[in-house]
Each structure stands twice: as structure tokens, then as C-alpha cells.
Structure 1
Amino acid sequence: MSFTLLLTDVNSPLGKALEHELEREPFKLLAPSGGELDWSNEAAVIDYVEREQPDLVINCRGWEEAYYPGGQGQLINAARCLASACRQFELPLIHLSSYTVFGADAKGTHSEKDLPAPNTETGAAFVEAEQLITSVLQRFIVLRLSWVIGAYGNNHLTRLLSAFLAGASVNVNRRLRGSPTAQSDVARVAVAMAKQISCGAENWGVMHYCSGDACSEDEFADQVLQLLIQQQLLTAEPSVTLVDTEPEGEPPSAILGCRHARDNFGIQARSWRPSLLPLVKQWLHNREQTKHTLQ
């Protein structure tokens, strides 16, 4: 029997990673474009779900935009409409969320039982999106993520690479800690959960996933810089300034305890370090392609 999966975004870097991972699976994949479906229109989303009849939804709509000033509306609106559609048709939902829900909490590692306490618009938006889902659905997974890195988009890795390759000044905070997690690793985990759900798994609730290799922001920046030096990729000497003050507008810890994902789905955390060089090479390749396109 075929299993139909609805993926709400294939345009963002995280959405593309999910789409790429799903291409290897036997699922029938639904991935409507923004022009095909208005994700902020509840009636339109309900009509689409009724017509296409998916068996499971993976939602990353607005996930990346939520990190930009004023970009949180897409995340909240999509969560609201999907919650309504999934409730009406009794559909399970995997919703991607973020460590930013924990705000200024000084706890070193956040467990699934910790109460959200956001201190930014981004964190507040992720909390609101979660609550829209958890308040009306019983069959859901809210999957919170740590620092998500990749060769595409705006993330900890791409920002460092842009600055280092330009010889720009970079501030890194030794009090910021996280577990860098590759976009492809997030996709691996979400699809593994989807596969088990398609086979009848009934494990629901709030879960966390991040790499099993935590570090401070300055440690991550040093790893990136040393890799660029080893590969002889630097054309200018970057200036790195170490900051040792309480971070503003960013949770001091993005390290997540992943017990529920491990116990319920057998998910094993991977280190980000083996993927760093391939990601850097992919980013450089993308940059060269962009240069040639603009010439």
C-alpha cells in the first residue's frame, strides 16, 4: 500500500535537504509550491489536504524565515492552517521547531520537559507555532533543533565562511554553546521518523534532535578557520575577536537532550565534524557558480 507524504516546503535549504532525503524513499511525495497553495489560507490548505489525502505531513514552512526580523508570520500562519487541516482529517504531523524557544534560560542542556521561555521574536514565534499544534492535535511530533548548518542559506557556517573568505572582522562568543547539526542530518532524522510512522509507530510528543558533538561558538569558528587554513583557501587574514559576555538576543545554550527521539525511534546522534569539509567545499562551489552566473 502506498504512503503519501506532504512536505510543506522544498525551496528553503532545509526543505531541499528533506526533499533530497525523501527522493530515496518509496513514498509518494506531495510538495506544492507557494504559487500552487497559499499556506496562510486555512480554507485553501484544508481543501488541498482533502483533495490529495496525504498520510503524513512534514512541516518546515517558515522555519528559516523565522530567524529574520519580521519573518515570523509565515511560520505561525502555516502552523495554524496545518493544525486545523490535520485535526479535521486526523493526520499525523511532524513539525520542525527550534532551540530558541528556551530563551535566556542558563541551563546547559535543555530536555524535552523544560518549559519554553523565549526572549526573542524568533523564539516567541516558534513557541506560538508549537502551541497551535499541540493544543489541537494528538498525533504530532514537534522536533526541536539546535544550530542547523549547511552549505546553503544563512546559518552559523555560511556566515563564518563569508566573513573569513572576505578577511572581515568576526566576533565569536565563548559563552554561546550549541550542537551544530547538518541540514542533511535533520532530514535523515525526520525521514527516519516518517518511515517508522508509515509502518505503524505511534510515538508522539515534543522531541529534540541535535548532533552529539557540542561546542562553543568560538570553538566552532576555530574549527572552520583551521580547516580553511589546512585547505589553503584563505586569501586574506581574518580578524577574530573573542567575546566573553552574556549573549544578547540569543539563548546561551542550544544544546538539546535527545532522549525521546532515541528511546522512541532509535535515533542516534551524529557528529558534525566529518561533514564540515564537504559542506565547506559545497559552499565554495556554490559561490563560484554564482560568480560565473553574474559575469
Structure 2
Amino acid sequence: MRQKFESTTFRFVSDHPADLDWVDRAQVSDYLAAVKPQLILNTTGWGEGAAVKPELLASGAECLAHCLAGSEVPVVHLSSYRVFHGEGRVSHGEHDEPKAETDLSRVFYRAEQALLQAVPHSLILRSSWVLSTEGGSLLARLLADFEANRATVVSDQWRGTPVSVSDVVRAVYAITQQIIYGAENWGVMHFGSSDVCSELVFANKVRDMVLADTGRELTLEELETPTDNSAVLEMRRLRENFGVQPRSWRQGLKPVVHRWLATKGLLSESVES
């Protein structure tokens, strides 16, 4: 994300003092006063799976909300489908009110509400499954299990509209650039791919790619227990307000998988040559 934003005509500040405590209101206030940001992109504590830092996510957002209360500085806050965990819906609209029935969903919702209630110009961007080769995403889990020669448990009922990290960056870049140039669109917006898939469907696609590149099978085990969760996000406001169009999750997936296998030295000799 840093590389994308550094190509703009605006100064992108991602470096900060190593000892800066993002939940210390005095420290954060002093830091913001020194930097004087035109816009803040809040990624504190955000992530997928094991990459999420729950307490930092909530407390960091609350600290930022306190420091910016009533100010004119816009904030784009990255959130997640996880605010809806445990609700049993097939899909989630941008105007649906989360019930926040699990500990993690409450953390995500708490962070959102802190900013929405205190910062007049706040935009909450919720993403569906974010597909990264690091952290705890579905893709990272599949590849790590493949490397370790163990099976990945997936569900054919747990569905989402997965997006790559590069697509999240693309959306955030479009949003922030338009806000800087005067766009006045605030509140909750959703981001996902143009097509829905289950964990099993996605995993089978990755298995095909891995087999083609390595000649080895990625082992899958299907979870039979039904789930009432959904990561399917209806994406309307982002298209209408910022012109951001969703893409298929299949776009760009193959080179990501191929690069990861190459980095790990797992490509077959015929593919490498």
C-alpha cells in the first residue's frame, strides 16, 4: 500500500516514532499536531484471521476518535465483514445494522462506532475475505498447509466475496484521492469481489493452480457442520459514490500463487524451466 500512495503528488506519511503508543491520547494528539494530516487512513489492528489485533483495533480507533473529535480531518477506517459474525444472513448490505454477536465482531463494531460518532468526516470500509499470502487469510492458510503437507479444512457453506490485497489498495487509493479533491461521501461502505464463492470452491481453484505449478496435490477436507455466518458483502455505495468497480476474485490469483511457490522453492522443475 505504501508504494502505491508514494506515487501521488501528496506527501504520504507512513513512518512514525517506533515508541508511539496508538492508544495513548496525549502521544497521538502530539503526533497528529506535528504531522498536520489532510486525511488519515486507519489500518491500526486491522487484518484477516490471526493478523487481527483486537485490542489495538478497538482502542486505537477510540483514541483516534478522541483526538479528532469535531475536527474537519477525514478518516478512512479499514474494517471487515466480521462485524456481522453470528447473524445467519446470506449477505450483508451497507445499511444493515450489525448485531455483533461474537467477541471479535464486537471489537470491529466498537472501532467503527467510535469513529462514526466522533469524527464528522469518517468513512468505514468493510472488506470481505482479504486474500493475502501472509497472516491468517484463507489463501495464506491453504498455502501454509500445502507447504507443511497437511490438510486444510474448508466449508462449502461458508461463503464470501474475496478480494486480494492489491484490490483493497486499489479501492482505498481511489477513495482517498477523491476525498482529498473534495468528495463528500461518508459513512459505511462495502468492498468485495464481483462473484460469490464458498471456501471449498476457492480452495479447489487454488489446488488446481498449485498442482499445475508443482505437480503435487493440495489436500482438502470438507467441513460438514453447517455455518450461519456469511462474508458476502453487497457493494452499492462504493460504486455509486466513488466509481470503484468490483472484479472477480479469480483475476490476478494465479500469479500471486505462482510467486509464493517460487519464493518457497516449491515449483516443479518443468515449470521453473
TM exceeds 0.5? yes
CA contact (8 A) 2:189 2:237 kept: yes
Q: Deviations over 1:97-130 (max 9, x none)?
A: 0101112222222001111122332211100101
In the other structure, the counterpart of 1:54 is 37
In the other structure, the counterpart of 2:54 is 72
What stretches of structure 1 of length at least 5 have no aligned partner?
Answer: 1-17, 290-295
Q: Distance in 1 between the 2:53 and 2:101 partners?
A: 16
Relative to the length of structure 1, the TM-score reads 0.84
In the other structure, the counterpart of 2:13 is 30
Q: Distance in 2 between the 1:181 and 1:286 partners?
A: 22
CA positional deviation for 1:88: 5.1
Structure 1 residue 204 corresponds to structure 2 residue 186: yes
Relative to the length of structure 2, the TM-score reads 0.91
Q: What fraction of aligned residue pairs are identical, expressed as a percent?
A: 36
RMSD in angstroms over aligned alpha carbons?
A: 2.0
Q: Deviations over 1:179-207 (max 9, x none)?
A: 11001110110110000011100011100
Q: Deviations over 1:135-163 (max 9, x none)?
A: 11221100001000123322110110121
- Amino acid in the other structure paired with 1:187: V
In the other structure, the counterpart of 2:163 is 181
In the other structure, the counterpart of 2:271 is none
In the other structure, the counterpart of 2:221 is 241
CA contact (8 A) 2:80 2:128 kept: yes
CA contact (8 A) 2:71 2:119 kept: no
Q: Deviations over 1:189-247 (max 9, x none)?
A: 0110000011100011100001112100100110000111122352xx44322223223
In the other structure, the counterpart of 2:127 is 145
CA positional deviation for 1:69: 9.7
Picking from 18, 25, 35, the partner of 1:42 is: 25
Q: Distance in 2 between the 1:239 and 1:59 partners?
A: 37
CA contact (8 A) 1:93 1:139 kept: yes
Picking from 126, 131, 136, the partner of 2:113 is: 131
Quickly say closer, same or farther: Cα 1:238–1:186, change in 2 above 3 A. Answer: closer
- Amino acid in the other structure paired with 2:171: V
Paired residue secondary structure (2:12): strand
Paired residue secondary structure (2:143): helix
Paired residue secondary structure (2:252): helix
In the other structure, the counterpart of 2:255 is 278
Q: Distance in 1 between the 2:179 and 2:242 partners?
A: 10
Indicate the larger mover: 124-133 or 238-247: 238-247
Q: Distance in 2 between the 1:147 and 1:80 partners?
A: 24
- Amino acid in the other structure paired with 1:109: S
Q: What is the number of residues matched between the two proteins?
A: 266
Quickly say closer, same or farther: Cα 1:276–1:103, change in 2 above 3 A. Answer: same
Picking from 256, 262, 281, the partner of 2:239 is: 262
Quickly say closer, same or farther: Cα 1:124–1:286, change in 2 above 3 A. Answer: farther
Q: Distance in 1 between the 2:12 and 2:250 partners?
A: 31
Q: Distance in 1 between the 2:200 and 2:83 partners?
A: 23
Q: Distance in 2 between the 1:70 and 1:194 partners?
A: 23
Indicate the larger mover: 46-55 or 100-109: 100-109
In the other structure, the counterpart of 2:269 is none
CA contact (8 A) 1:86 1:93 kept: no
Paired residue secondary structure (1:94): strand
Paired residue secondary structure (2:86): coil
Quickly say closer, same or farther: Cα 1:216–1:258, change in 2 above 3 A. Answer: same
Paired residue secondary structure (1:242): strand
- Amino acid in the other structure paired with 2:247: R
- Amino acid in the other structure paired with 2:167: D
What stretches of structure 2 of length at least 5 have no aligned partner?
Answer: 267-273
